[in-house]
Amino acid sequence: LILASEEGVVARVDGDDAWVKTVRGDACESCSSKAACHTMGGGREMEVSALNPIGARVGDRVLLKMDTLPFLKGTFLVYMFPILLLVGGAAIGEWVSLVSNLPPPLPSVLLAFGGLAAGLLFMKRAANRLAQRNAYRPRIARVIGRSPG
The rounded distance, in Å, linking the Cα atoms of 143 and 56 is: 7
Going by the DSSP 8-state scheme, the letter that residue 32 receives in this structure is T
pLDDT given at position 73? 78
Q: In this structure, are strands 61-67 and 45-51 parallel, antiparallel, or unpaired?
A: unpaired
As to burial, measured by CB atoms within 10 angstroms (0-12 exposed, 13-18 middle, 19+ buried), residue 31 is: buried
Instruction: Tally the C-alpha atoms within 13 A of residue 61's C-alpha that lie toward its C-beta.
Output: 4
pLDDT given at position 94? 94
As to burial, measured by CB atoms within 10 angstroms (0-12 exposed, 13-18 middle, 19+ buried), residue 102 is: middle
pLDDT given at position 142? 92
pLDDT along the chain (149 residues), means of 10: 78 92 68 52 75 93 86 80 94 93 90 95 84 83 84
